Amino acid sequence: MAISRAIIASVIISLLVLLLVQADETVNASGSGASLAYKINCGQACRVRCSLASRHKICLRACGTCCARCLCVPPGTSGNQKVCPCYYYMTTHGGRRKCP
């Protein structure tokens, strides 16, 4: 019993469409449009960012929160915050910048 090429092609196309839909749902469920291939190591990035901070533990906690929400930590130990707009514009309840 031979299966026609048209049936095989339609099955393959259907499987590819299902895989694409699943990938799109995974990206949407993550809460951001960030690529799943790019995962930032927040712990390492924040250790570098807070390495010169006078209040190291507080800096690490704030940076970790910001990194988890924004998936970005500016380069260096200070400044450069506009590289990560989400990180730059996050504020505390008092209206001060939250992220170190």
CA distance 21 to 58: 41
Least confident of 4-8, 56-60, 88-92, 94-98: 4-8
SS3 call for 91? strand
Question: First CA to last CA across the chain, in angstroms?
Answer: 68
Q: Are 77 and 48 in contact (CB under 8 A)?
A: yes
Q: How far is CA 18 from the centre of its chain?
A: 24
Q: What are 68-83's pLDDT values in tens digits?
A: 999 999 999 998 989 9
Q: What are 36-50's pLDDT values in tens digits?
A: 446 889 999 999 999
Q: Higher model confidence: residue 4 or residue 27?
A: 4
Which pLDDT score is estimated for 56? 94
Q: What are 18-67's pLDDT values in tens digits?
A: 666 565 554 444 444 444 446 889 999 999 999 999 999 999 999 999 99
Q: pTM of the predicted model, to two decimals?
A: 0.59
Q: Give the start-to-end residue ranges of the domains of the chain.
A: 42-89
